[in-house]
């Protein structure tokens, strides 16, 4: 192992740098949503510090159903082993120390909600989404953009001989400004939901009955929206990050059968972060729309903060996550550091809590991820029963929605989002979901409207590209 570091010119907008590889298979952009104003040097958006760019993985893992295809560039083999265990096994071959950047190489990709079927007993009522349940690349280099220090570093642990051989040309490749491309993106149909309002109300009534009978306490019920599209999805993502920046955004360009698959994530929610042995999760529960003016906006925020229903919803998920995290963390280390903190985004206000813990010396970060997957904030409580009810009442499988997107570094650090406010472009269809947690005092009409509030950014995006 020979650590390689090269400084690249800093740019206030990391999307300009990612465009060098945006159309390559397995190119990924973990986007903090923070763009610096080029004129003032101040933050145009209020979110995170680091953006991460990767491409050209040295190994890939793709899980479809019971099989995972592992490709190291020379050999391919298929395994029916647990995908999390396979990823653990692959990463164990690349031990590395932590550097002064959040990610210098390792695993990056997505873990779809339906990967949870490998962990829990869930019926197979609905047809699967036409995409793998897991797509993860092993990357030997990364570009790290630090918006606070206003610097860009090209870093690698140098595990791959090819990386070392190509290092000079790679540095040149990312130094030269990309040539502007002429491409288009178009929305070609009306948006269709898999629920009518009446059908949603009927499903809501079933959930309410389960809660009344004591079968569960909370269930996240979601509807799927879809629309026909054509053209360059990267253009759609650039517009998305401009109109509604969020702290855990992502764009992924991936191969899927005979066509490309793109992920456009606008997520506001951290799933699990691990730094050293420190574990953190920030579940979101409780939502109100932004107001049309300052007075209404403040009233909506205060109503959310004062809502006992939303606080109760939040506490249920905090308790669930405390239990999930505790499976892999030291006894007595799990703590709730924040409850019901107001966080405001372009289209909604949320209540966010924070739970921290210390990872057991005997556990890996992937053990932790597996023990918490999928995130409780978007299933319900108790988790397995909620997932069974979701499968019974929702007309479609969720695919990526409510899964996770993020990285697991060679150094053992990890950061992942909950894949909400996330669109998938697959075979000329763009699809996205919006849902909400139903509890004992929920009402069907309000819950239905909440799903529309959460989908408002995607509606705004699609309206911009309508033919």
User: Which of the residues 59, 269, 394, 450 is marked catalytic?
Assistant: 269
Q: Is 131 exposed, middle or buried (0-12, 13-18, 19+ CB in 10 A)?
A: buried
What's residue 46's pLDDT? 59
CATH number at residue 162: 3.60.120.10
Counted domains in the chain:
1
Q: Are the C-beta atoms of 334 and 280 separated by less than 8 Å?
A: no
Q: Is the dihedral of CA 223, 348, 346, 402 positive or negative?
A: negative
* C-alpha span between 297 and 342 (Å, rounded): 13
Q: Is 285 a catalytic residue?
A: yes
pLDDT of residue 360 exceeding 80 = yes
DSSP helix/strand/coil, 11? coil
pLDDT at 256: 87
271 vs 283: CA distance, rounded Å: 7
Average pLDDT over residues 222-232: 97
Active site (annotated) includes residue 209: no
Q: Distance between CA 276 and CA 202 in Å, rounded?
A: 47
Question: In the numeric block, which tokens belong to residue 68?
Answer: 């995972």
**Structure confidence at residue 232 (pLDDT):** 96
Query: Phi and psi (nearest 5°) for 232?
Result: -95, 105
pLDDT at 36: 63
Q: Are 298 and 346 in contact (CB under 8 A)?
A: no
Q: On the CB side of 342, how many CA atoms lie within 13 Å of its CA?
A: 17
Q: Give yes or no for residue 238 having a pLDDT over 90.
A: yes
> How many residues belong to the chain?
467
Q: Is 36 helix (H, G, I), strand (E, B) or coil?
A: strand
Q: Is 47 helix (H, G, I), strand (E, B) or coil?
A: coil
What span, in angstroms and rounded, lies between the C-alpha atoms of 267 and 352?
A: 13
For residue range 196-212, what is the model confidence (pLDDT) as tens digits?
Answer: 999 999 999 999 999 99
Q: How is residue 329 annotated by DSSP?
A: B
pLDDT top residue among 179 and 100: 100
Residue 73, pLDDT score:
86
Phi then psi for 39, rounded to 5 degrees? -80, -45
Instruction: Band the pLDDT of 3: cuts 50, 70, 90.
Output: very high
- Average pLDDT for 273-296: 89
Q: Going by DSSP bridges, is the β-strand pair 59-64/50-54 parallel, antiparallel, or unpaired?
A: unpaired
Mean pLDDT of the 254-278 span: 92
Average pLDDT, the chain: 92
pLDDT at 51: 96
Task: Give me the pLDDT at residue 346, please.
Answer: 73
Rounded Cα distance between 190 and 226, Å, is 8
Q: Which of 238, 285, 383, 454 is catalytic?
A: 285
- Mean per-residue pLDDT, 1-24: 91
Residue 182 has pLDDT above 80, yes or no: no
Q: What is the average pLDDT across 415-419?
A: 96
- Residue 168: partners with Cβ closer than 8 Å, 6 or more residues away: none
pLDDT of residue 42: 60
Provide the residue range defining the domain that includes 201.
4-464
How large is the average pLDDT for residues 217-223?
A: 94
Q: What is the pLDDT of residue 24?
A: 95
177-184 average pLDDT score: 76
Helices (H) and strands (E) in the chain, counts: 11, 25
144-153, 162-171, 179-188, 379-388: range with lowest mean pLDDT = 179-188
Q: Which residue has the tokens 């991936």?
A: 254
pTM score of the predicted model = 0.93
**How sure is the predictor about 350, in pLDDT bands with cuts at 50, 70 and 90?**
confident
How does 196-221 read in b/e, with b if 16+ C-beta sit within 10 Å? eeeebeebbeebbebbeeeebbbbbb
Per-residue pLDDT, averaged over 430-452, amounts to 93
pLDDT tens for residues 33-79?
A: 877 665 666 656 657 789 999 999 999 999 999 999 999 989 999 99
- Helix then strand then coil, % of the chain, to nearest 5: 30, 35, 35
Q: What angle do CA 392, 121, 388 make, to 5 degrees?
A: 25
* CB 285 within 8 Å of CB 377: yes
**How far apart (Å, rounded) are the C-alpha atoms in residues 107 and 142?**
11
Mean predicted confidence (pLDDT) in 316-326 = 91
Distance in angstroms (rounded) separating the CA atoms of residues 92 and 318: 31
Q: Is 49 within 8 Å of 247 (Cβ atoms)?
A: no
Stretch 413-441: mean pLDDT: 94
Q: And the tokens for 194?
A: 């898999």
User: CB burial class (10 A; 0-12, 13-18, 19+) of residue 367?
Assistant: middle
> Using 50, 70 and 90 to split pLDDT, how confident is the model at 179?
low
């Amino acid at each position: 192992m020979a650590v390689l570091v090269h400084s690249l010119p800093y740019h206030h907008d990391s999307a300009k740098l990612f465009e060098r590889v945006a159309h390559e298979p397995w190119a990924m952009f973990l986007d903090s949503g923070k763009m610096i104003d080029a004129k003032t040097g101040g933050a145009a958006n209020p979110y995170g510090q680091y953006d991460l760019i990767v491409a050209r993985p040295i190994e890939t893992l793709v899980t479809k159903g019971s099989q995972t295809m592992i490709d190291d560039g020379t050999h391919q083999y298929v395994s029916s082993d647990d995908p999390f265990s396979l990823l653990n096994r692959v990463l164990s071959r690349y031990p590395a120390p932590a550097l002064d950047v959040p990610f210098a190489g390792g695993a990056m990709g997505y873990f779809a909600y339906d990967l949870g079927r490998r962990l829990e007993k869930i019926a197979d009522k609905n047809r699967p989404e036409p995409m793998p349940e897991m797509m993860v690349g092993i990357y030997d280099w990364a570009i790290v953009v630090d918006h606070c220090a206003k610097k860009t570093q090209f870093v690698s642990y140098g595990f791959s001989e090819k990386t070392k051989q190509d290092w000079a040309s790679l540095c040149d490749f990312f130094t030269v400004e990309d040539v502007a491309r002429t491409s288009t993106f178009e929305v070609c149909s009306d948006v269709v939901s898999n629920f009518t309002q009446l059908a949603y109300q009927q499903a809501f009534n079933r959930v309410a009955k389960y809660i009344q009978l004591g079968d569960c306490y909370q269930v996240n019920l979601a509807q799927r929206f879809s629309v026909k599209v054509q053209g360059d999805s990267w253009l759609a993502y650039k517009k998305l990050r401009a109109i509604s920046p969020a702290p855990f955004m992502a764009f992924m360009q991936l191969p899927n059968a005979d066509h490309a698959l793109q992920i456009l994530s606008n997520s506001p929610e951290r799933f699990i972060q691990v730094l050293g042995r420190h574990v953190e999760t920030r579940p979101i529960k409780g939502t109100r729309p932004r107001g049309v003016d300052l007075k209404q906006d403040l009233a909506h925020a205060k109503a959310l903060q004062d809502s006992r229903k939303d606080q109760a919803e939040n506490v249920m998920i905090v308790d669930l996550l405390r239990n999930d995290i505790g499976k892999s963390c030291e006894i007595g280390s799990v703590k709730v550091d924040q409850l019901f903190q107001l966080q405001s985004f372009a289209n909604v206000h949320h209540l966010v809590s924070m739970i921290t813990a210390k990872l057991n010396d005997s556990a890996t970060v992937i053990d932790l991820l597996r023990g918490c997957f999928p995130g409780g904030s978007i299933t319900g409580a108790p988790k397995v029963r909620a997932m069974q009810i979701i499968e019974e009442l929702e007309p479609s499988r969720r695919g990526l929605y409510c899964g996770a997107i993020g990285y697991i570094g060679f150094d053992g650090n990890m950061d992942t989002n909950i894949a909400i406010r996330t669109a998938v472009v697959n075979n000329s269809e763009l699809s996205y979901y919006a849902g909400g947690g139903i509890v004992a005092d929920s009402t069907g009409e309000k819950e239905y409207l909440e799903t529309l509030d959460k989908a408002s950014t995607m509606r705004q995006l699609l309206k911009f590209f309508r033919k």
